[in-house]
């Protein structure tokens, strides 16, 4: 089992962004998370990634308690959000080398092929501050590929990408599915969501309203 | 091992970012120079008074500049949620703090490296106990400012009124470090007939050490909360 959540809730000040979320997601499942703006999709993904601590409830990922074993859990997941987690002053290549410097086991070849996969090889030595939003998303994808995750949390993964970028994203998601990676994806592009995922979760006002098998 | 590797990676990263954003460093240096000049204008033309208060002016200029450099150092981490990306890798946050602390202290040392020669020229003073001791004070003083500074800058980045709250949180804490830095520098500049230098240096080193350990222990909790 990849994810087991019981009565998860998250509060920002007085506002409850999530309330009473209980869900179970099996290893290798791909889940489409849908809901209107402000429904709590981003907050849920950030809580599930352990980037945010829940205000209430319990969360287990890979059979480990997220509150106490978040170091081990984080080694096995990747989160893609509107924020690409990149340093603007560093080049694309340096941003990826940073993963290696911080202890991720990567070969130079893996690094080069990740850049090539997202079509940024010729821009490898340009600072990220010169990149368009779409190029940053692509670099974020390269970063995710290098992390070799078992669980991928994608928040609006098709946003800001051009046609080729969207196709690349779809290929990567399909590739992950074939390799048995668990995927949770929130998107307003319902057609793609239904096409790429096995089942859906519907969030409304921070509450899980429905789930289809 | 992870602790040291994270520290070294953070130091390398910060040095590179600082080098790429040289305009920011130049801005901070201009600010420090202006503060030093303003203090000397405010004190008047009396060379004896200026010379006597030179250590205070220099350390206040370094302290005020540190609020800019420390905030900037953490702003880089919050842009595009880069720090969140590192947390999720996961990076050893104790090592990250150590790297950040050293890079912030090195930046302040560079500022001091410019300000002290300027003060020698402006206030007609020179280090009678030698440059090595002055370098020791600068290094310890920079660490003593950077250690709590890095902790509070991280806490303040998560607040809305961070620009106001950061100096309000930091300055009261730094009073012992500021007093010890000024006293030790005064002794280096004007002589140490009572052999007090070692005592003030001990205060500085202990202050820097205690806050460094506190930062290493608490930093992960601060960023996780």
For an interface test with A, give the residue of B75, B78, B80, B87 to mutate (most A CBs within 10 A): B80
Interface probe with A: pick from B1, B3, B7, B13, most Cβ of A within 10 Å: B13
Domain housing B74: 2-224
Provide, rounded to the nearest whole percent, the portion of chain B with pLDDT above 90: 88
With bands split at pLDDT 50, 70 and 90, how would you rate the model's confidence at A181? Answer: very high
Domains in chain A, CATH or no CATH each: 1-76+150-161+181-188+197-213 (3.40.50.300)
> Is there a contact between B97 and B219 (Cβ–Cβ < 8 Å)?
yes
**What's the rounded Cα separation, in Å, for the pair B76 and A132?**
19
pLDDT over threshold 60, residue A213: no
Across A93-111, average pLDDT: 95
Total number of domains in chain B: 1
Token readout for A166 is 């969207």
User: pLDDT tens for residues B47-85?
Assistant: 888 999 999 999 999 999 999 999 999 999 999 999 999
Q: Nearest C-alpha of chain A: how many angstroms from B90?
A: 6
The stretch A171-183 carries a mean pLDDT of 96
CB atoms A70 and B90 under 8 Å: yes
Higher pLDDT, residue A6 or A2: A6
Beta partners for A18? A10
Nearest Cα residue in chain B from A82 = B80
| Partners of B8 in the β-ladder | none
Beta carbons of A144 and A99 less than 8 angstroms apart: no
Rg (CA), chain A: 17
Residue B1 pLDDT > 90: no
> What per-residue confidence (pLDDT) applies to B72?
93
Q: What is the pLDDT of residues A49-81, one digit of tens each?
A: 999 999 999 999 999 999 999 999 999 999 999
The residues of A whose Cβ lies within 8 A of any Cβ of B are 49-51, 53, 70-71, 74-75, 77-79, 81, 83-90, 94, 98-99, 101-104, 127, 136, 143, 147
Tell me how crowded residue B98 is: count the other CB atoms within 10 A of its CB: 23
Predicted complex ipTM? 0.93
Give Cα B64 to chain centroid, integer Å.
9
- Under 8 Å CB pairs connecting chains A and B tally to 77
Contacts of B146 (CB under 8 A, 6+ apart): B66, B70, B101, B102, B104, B105, B108
Q: Does B15 touch chain A (CB under 8 A)?
A: no
Q: Could you tell me the pLDDT band of residue A211, with boundaries at 50, 70 and 90?
A: low
Write b or e for each residue in A9-46: b if 16 or more Cβ atoms lie within 10 A of its Cβ, otherwise e: bbeeeeebbbbebebebeebbbbbbbbeeebbbbbbbb
Confidence of residue A209 (pLDDT cuts 50, 70, 90): confident
Q: Which residues of B touch A71 (CB under 8 A)?
A: 90
Q: What is the pLDDT of residues B93-114, one digit of tens each?
A: 999 999 999 999 999 999 999 9
CB contact set of A211 (below 8 Å; sequence gap of 6+): A23, A199, A200, A201, A202
Contacts of A163 (CB under 8 A, 6+ apart): none
Chain A residue numbers touching B80 (CB-CB < 8 A) = 83-88, 136
Helix and strand totals (H; E) in chain B? 8, 0
The structure tokens 């205690």 sit at: B210
Is the CB of residue B152 less than 8 Å from the CB of residue B67? no
pLDDT in the model for residue A160: 87
* pLDDT at residue number A43: 96
Q: How confident is the model at residue A111 (pLDDT cuts 50, 70, 90)?
A: very high
Which is it for the CA torsion A45, A46, A50, A52, positive or negative? negative
CB-CB neighbors (< 8 A) of A88 in chain B = 79-80
- Beta strand A64-65 pairing with A30-34: unpaired
pTM of the model: 0.94
Q: Which residues contact A78 (CB under 8 A, 6 or more apart)?
A: A143, A144, A147, A149, A151, A152, A153, B88
**The predicted structure's pLDDT at residue B24:** 82
Q: Based on C-alpha coordinates, what's the Rg of chain B?
A: 18
pLDDT at B44: 84
- Residue B183, both tokens: 């006293």
pLDDT at B225: 74
Asked if residues B157 and B82 have their Cβ atoms less than 8 Å apart, the reply is no
């Amino acid at each position: 089992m990849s994810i087991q959540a019981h009565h998860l809730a998250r509060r920002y000040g007085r506002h409850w962004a999530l309330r009473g979320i209980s869900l179970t997601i099996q290893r290798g499942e791909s889940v489409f998370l849908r809901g209107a703006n402000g429904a709590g999709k981003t907050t849920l993904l950030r809580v599930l990634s352990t980037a945010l601590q829940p205000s209430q409830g319990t969360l287990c990922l890979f059979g480990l308690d997220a509150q106490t074993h978040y170091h081990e859990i984080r080694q096995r997941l990747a989160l893609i959000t509107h924020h690409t987690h990149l340093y603007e002053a560093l080049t694309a290549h340096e941003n990826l080398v940073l993963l290696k410097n911080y202890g991720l086991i990567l070969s130079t070849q893996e690094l080069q092929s990740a850049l090539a996969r997202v079509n940024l090889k010729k821009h490898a030595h340009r600072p990220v501050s010169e990149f368009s939003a779409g190029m940053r998303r692509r670099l974020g994808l390269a970063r995710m590929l290098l992390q070799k995750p078992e669980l991928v949390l994608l928040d609006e993964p098709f946003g800001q990408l051009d046609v080729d970028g969207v196709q690349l994203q779809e290929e990567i998601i399909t590739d992950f599915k074939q390799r048995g990676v668990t995927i949770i994806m929130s998107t307003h592009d319902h057609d793609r969501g239904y096409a790429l995922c096995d089942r859906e979760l519907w969030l409304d006002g921070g509450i899980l309203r429905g789930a289809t098998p | 091992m992870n602790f040291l590797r994270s520290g070294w990676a953070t130091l390398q990263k910060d040095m590179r970012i600082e080098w790429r954003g040289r305009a920011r460093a130049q801005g901070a240096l201009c600010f420090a120079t202006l503060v030093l000049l303003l203090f000397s204008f405010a004190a008047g033309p009396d060379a004896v008074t200026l010379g006597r208060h030179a250590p205070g002016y220099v350390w206040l200029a370094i302290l005020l500049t540190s609020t800019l450099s420390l905030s900037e150092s953490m702003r880089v981490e919050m842009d595009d949620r880069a720090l969140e990306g590192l947390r999720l890798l996961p990076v050893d946050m104790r090592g990250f703090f150590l790297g950040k602390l050293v890079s912030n202290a090195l930046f302040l040392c560079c500022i001091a490296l410019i300000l002290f020669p300027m003060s020698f020229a402006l206030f007609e003073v020179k280090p009678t106990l030698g440059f090595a001791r002055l370098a020791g004070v600068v290094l310890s003083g920079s660490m003593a400012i950077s250690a709590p500074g890095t902790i509070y800058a991280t806490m303040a980045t998560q607040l809305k009124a961070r620009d106001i709250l950061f100096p309000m949180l930091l300055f009261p804490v730094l009073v012992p470090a500021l007093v010890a830095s000024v006293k030790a520098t005064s002794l280096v500049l004007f002589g140490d007939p009572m052999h007090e230098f070692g005592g003030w240096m001990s205060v500085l080193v202990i202050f820097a050490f205690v806050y460094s350990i506190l930062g290493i222990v608490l930093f992960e909790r601060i960023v996780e909360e």
